[in-house]
Amino acid sequence: MPISSFHPPTRILLGPGPSDVSPRILEAMSRPTIGHLDPFFVAMMDEMKSLLQYTFQTQNDLTFSVSAPGSAGMETCFVNLLEPGDKAIVCQNGVFGGRMKENVERCGATPIMIQDSWGKPVDPNKLEETLKIHPDTKVVAFVHAETSTGAQSDVKTLVEIAHRYGCLTIVDTVTSLGGSPVKVDEWKIDAIYSGSQKCLSCTPGLSPVSFSPRAVEKIKTRKTKAQSWFLDLGLVSSYWGGIGKRAYHHTAPINALYGLHEALVILQEEGIEQSWARHDRNHQILKVGLEAMGLSFIVDQPYRLPQLNAIKIPEGIEDATVRTQLLQQYGIEIGAGLGDMAGKIWRVGLMGHSANLRNVLIFLGALEKILSDLGAKIEVGAATKAASLKAAA
Amino acid sequence: MPISSFHPPTRILLGPGPSDVSPRILEAMSRPTIGHLDPFFVAMMDEMKSLLQYTFQTQNDLTFSVSAPGSAGMETCFVNLLEPGDKAIVCQNGVFGGRMKENVERCGATPIMIQDSWGKPVDPNKLEETLKIHPDTKVVAFVHAETSTGAQSDVKTLVEIAHRYGCLTIVDTVTSLGGSPVKVDEWKIDAIYSGSQKCLSCTPGLSPVSFSPRAVEKIKTRKTKAQSWFLDLGLVSSYWGGIGKRAYHHTAPINALYGLHEALVILQEEGIEQSWARHDRNHQILKVGLEAMGLSFIVDQPYRLPQLNAIKIPEGIEDATVRTQLLQQYGIEIGAGLGDMAGKIWRVGLMGHSANLRNVLIFLGALEKILSDLGAKIEVGAATKAASLKAAA
């Protein structure tokens, strides 16, 4: 039986990413492929750098997009800033801190773990205490916006503490970039990575990164080679024109980069502050609706991310039943809990192109119908009404 | 000054890759993004595995596409099959053998290099001699189709020798897959990688790979963790359903995979033998035309790849002048020489969707005009005439 062309179903992506991709971006990706050394493509890469500098709010020269998903962006930061035998502190408050630990270990470095409860932000006091015990730490790493819980941490304070002890900082902004404030220069972040498929609303597969001059200095003065050839910034950055003369390293994912370029042009047109405000506004409307249904968040209000809403599953309601009905009957995707949170929470993303009033109301309407059908004590219509009133306010 | 949308120029891609991408593939990539755990997407991944098994001519269960370009496919093979302290033989006859050496070293393993001249195939006798001296070698690696020179090596014989000494084999087929015979099971290759953007004619950014049961056994019984989290096959393969139960690892590049799926559907429709024959036929026509211009190949006939033609630059003709005129006046991209070959050769690719008679004739016509204008003793029209006669034969 020959296999035929793949035609995806129509979805509304309200999970932890990917988010819905604007037709403008999809169309940009379908433009004719040109060579990765074509002068027109190289000019596009220069524009991409400017657009990413705007998005990251930085002047860092070494700002580009890793040719692979966010996990590879994470690995790029670790393999270039750590050397065997180094100590690195990882502040963990969810799944992705655990992935950071794996990265540290595979670099031949020693991870010092600081644990905070899932759903809580990283505690700056614990970081300071740990640095007092381990003053020879080289790198402090943490997640700004934990995709597994929807909690955000105070980057500026954490970086300030790390710097006081002479450490470089690695910050995961996969879920925050474009959706809530990320200010690389103001917060003095040394190495940062993100993903294309969350609040930038591009297709998955690329990881924007940026490195401070201090991080670049470390990379230039390493005693050992980075353990990955593909992710070695000494080499990759020559292609992106960051360190030295432009030279071939690997073949860039041309059409994916057309897509990211368009996503960033859209963000620039809207204005990054306006994008942050839009994410917050839609979150507030969703919140009112969810609370009208009697649902609650696992993250305390001050640390709640607008773009990723982790909601407690009501007692007596089975996780998978609800998600399956949302997907099959309404074409709506939301996320399950990861790790310890599996079966206990839903993760509702309002990211990038998905963060709009229409989606909030469709989702609330579908959820109240499904929960009510499953026997939950819910007045159908109350959530959408409350949300509509909030939206009109 | 705000940056606006990027509109690439129209090119005919006759370099070492990317090749021209079929409008069918570009259109497939622009279909709506769905989630990487969506049941429809998971079904598409299963189809992708079958299509890749057909393309690689293998029954290997662990056959999938690495979510990053060919260089990451190469790294996937090395970091999973080598452990620190292992010995690996790398047979080098061009640029990409050098990249393999870098990979071996960064794994903490020891590379034993066998050198053949650029443009020559790998010498099986040298491999056998070296294995006699180093019988404790764990891995033998070489490039099937050297993209830097257009020379192909005898994979079957090289693998046979390596296996006699108990070694696993890593084979680079970035430039050959889809364009000339690659037979993983018949040739008993243990680990193979390729790229999406050459004879598969998809956009760049993905690396199809396949691993024999013997390679999988090695991966399962490693004493140390693979040094890359992103490329660790023990983890990646759970997502692709190769080892154990399907589980989330990283977010797959959804739309890029739509594109590769469509590229492989097109290949299946044509038939892989028919694709090989088409590449060979167009190469023969190009060859007649080039020879009518007095140009010659750097690779001896039996080892010449049909899809990558490395041509000596005639005396007195300046490399960059010709390539720039081809690009600016005709929109045709061809490749420059790499490393020692820079300034001495042109690399003309006839890969995938680019491998057709129209392109051969356009290229020959443009080249003879440019060379003649630059003062080369060439009868304009002779090359296209010879090629047309050959095509009609």
- Report the relative pairing of strands B168-172 and A345-349 from DSSP bridges: unpaired
Average pLDDT score over chain B: 96
Asked if A36 and B15 come within 8 Å (Cβ–Cβ), the reply is no
Chain B residues inside the 8 Å CB shell of A11: 32, 34-35, 38
CA angle B279, B284, B290 (to 5 degrees): 120
Residues A60 and A207 in one domain: yes
- Structure confidence by residue, pLDDT tens digits, B194-248: 999 999 999 999 999 999 999 999 999 999 999 999 999 999 988 887 555 677 8
The radius of gyration of chain A from alpha carbons, rounded to an integer in Å, stands at: 21
ipTM over 0.90: yes
Residue B333 bridge partners (DSSP): B13
CATH code, A203 = 3.40.640.10
- Structure confidence by residue, pLDDT tens digits, A300-327: 999 999 999 999 999 999 999 999 999 9
Q: For residue A10, tell me if it sits in a domain.
A: no
**pLDDT reported for residue A282:** 98
Q: For residue A2, tell me if it sits in a domain.
A: no
Which range (A90-99, A355-364, B237-246, B326-335) has the least confidence?
B237-246
Nearest beta carbon to residue A69 from set B44, B195, B250: B250
Kindly indicate the confidence band of residue A19, based on its pLDDT and cuts at 50, 70 and 90.
very high
Provide the residue range defining the domain that includes B36.
Answer: 23-269
- Mean pLDDT score, A86-110: 97
Nearest beta carbon to residue A251 from set B31, B50, B197: B197
Supply the DSSP string of B67-107, one letter for each residue: SS-HHHHHHHHHHHH--TT-EEEEEESSHHHHHHHHHHHHT
Which residues of B, range 170-209, sit inside 8 Å of A by Cβ?
195, 197, 203-205
CA distance B98 to B339: 11
What are the φ/ψ torsions at residue A84 (nearest 5 degrees)?
Answer: -55, 135
Nearest beta carbon to residue B262 from set A5, A68, A195: A5
pLDDT over 90 at A237, yes or no:
no
Q: Is A246 annotated as a binding residue?
A: no
CA distance B102 to B97: 9
How far from each other are the two terminal CA atoms of chain A, in whole angstroms? 57
Residue with tokens 């690195």: A88
Average pLDDT score over chain A: 96
Residues B138 and B62 in one domain: yes
Q: For residue B10, tell me if it sits in a domain.
A: no
**pLDDT reported for residue B244:** 53
Asked if B75 and A228 come within 8 Å (Cβ–Cβ), the reply is yes
Q: Is the peptide bond before A18 cis (omega within 30 degrees of 0)?
A: yes
Asked if B13 and A35 come within 8 Å (Cβ–Cβ), the reply is yes
**pLDDT reported for residue B248:** 84
Phi and psi based region of residue B201 (left: phi greater than 0; alpha: psi -120 to 50; beta: remaining): left
**pLDDT reported for residue A242:** 56
**pLDDT reported for residue A243:** 52
Q: For residue A206, tell me if it sits in a domain.
A: yes
CA distance B70 to B92: 18
| Number of domains composing chain A | 2
Helices (H), chain B: 23-29, 39-56, 70-81, 95-106, 124-133, 155-164, 184-187, 213-220, 233-240, 254-270, 272-292, 319-330, 357-373, 382-392
Residues A278 and A233 in one domain: no
pLDDT over 60 at A136, yes or no:
yes
Which residues of B, range 125-144, sit inside 8 Å of A by Cβ?
none
CA distance B109 to B101: 10
Chain A residues inside the 8 Å CB shell of B4: 265
Residues B334 and B385 in one domain: yes
Residues B198 and B69 in one domain: yes
- Structure confidence by residue, pLDDT tens digits, A137-159: 999 999 999 999 999 999 999 99
Last residue of a domain, one of B250, B269, B288: B269
- Mean pLDDT score, A232-237: 92
SS (H, E, C) A109-176: CEEEEEECCCCCCCCHHHHHHHHHHCCCCCEEEEECEECCCCEECCHHHHHHHHHHCCCEEEEECCCC
pLDDT over 90 at A245, yes or no:
no
Residues A283 and A235 in one domain: no
3-class DSSP state of B111 = strand
Residues B109 and B173 in one domain: yes
Percent of chain A with pLDDT over 90: 96
Determine contact: A258 vs chain B, CB below 8 A: yes
**pLDDT reported for residue A240:** 85
Residues B337 and B215 in one domain: no
Last residue of a domain, one of A220, A253, A269: A269
Q: For residue B75, tell me if it sits in a domain.
A: yes
CA distance B147 to B187: 21
Asked if A33 and B20 come within 8 Å (Cβ–Cβ), the reply is yes
CA distance B144 to B153: 5
Cβ proximity of B174 and B304 under 8 Å: no
Residues A295 and A283 in one domain: yes
Q: For residue A263, tell me if it sits in a domain.
A: yes
Residue B280 tokens, joined: 């060979």
Pick out chain B residues at pLDDT < 70.
242-245
Work out the number of other CB atoms within 10 angstroms of the CB of residue B145.
Answer: 30
Last residue of a domain, one of A269, A299, A328: A269
Q: For residue B52, tell me if it sits in a domain.
A: yes
Nearest beta carbon to residue A7 from set B31, B36, B99: B31
Closest B-chain CA to A99: B229
**pLDDT reported for residue B245:** 63
- Mean pLDDT score, A352-358: 98
pLDDT over 90 at A206, yes or no:
yes
Kindly indicate the confidence band of residue A33, based on its pLDDT and cuts at 50, 70 and 90.
very high
Asked if A34 and B9 come within 8 Å (Cβ–Cβ), the reply is yes
Kindly state the greatest CA–CA separation across chain B.
66
Kindly indicate the confidence band of residue A241, based on its pLDDT and cuts at 50, 70 and 90.
confident
Determine contact: B332 vs chain A, CB below 8 A: no
Residues near B204 by Cβ (< 8 Å), separated by ≥ 6? A33, A36, A251, A252, A253, A254, A255, B17, B18, B69, B195, B196, B197
Residues A143 and A256 in one domain: yes
Residues A285 and A353 in one domain: yes
Cβ proximity of A151 and A94 under 8 Å: yes
Percent of chain A with pLDDT over 70: 99
Residues B255 and B315 in one domain: no
Cβ proximity of B14 and B349 under 8 Å: yes
Closest A-chain CA to B232: A106
Q: Taken in order A16, A22, A26, A28, is the CA torsion positive or negative?
A: negative
CATH code, A385 = 3.90.1150.10
Chain A residues inside the 8 Å CB shell of B262: 5-6
Determine contact: A238 vs chain B, CB below 8 A: no
Measure in Å the smallest separation between the Cα of B330 and chain A Cα atoms: 14
Q: For residue A220, tell me if it sits in a domain.
A: yes
Residue with tokens 């917050």: A280
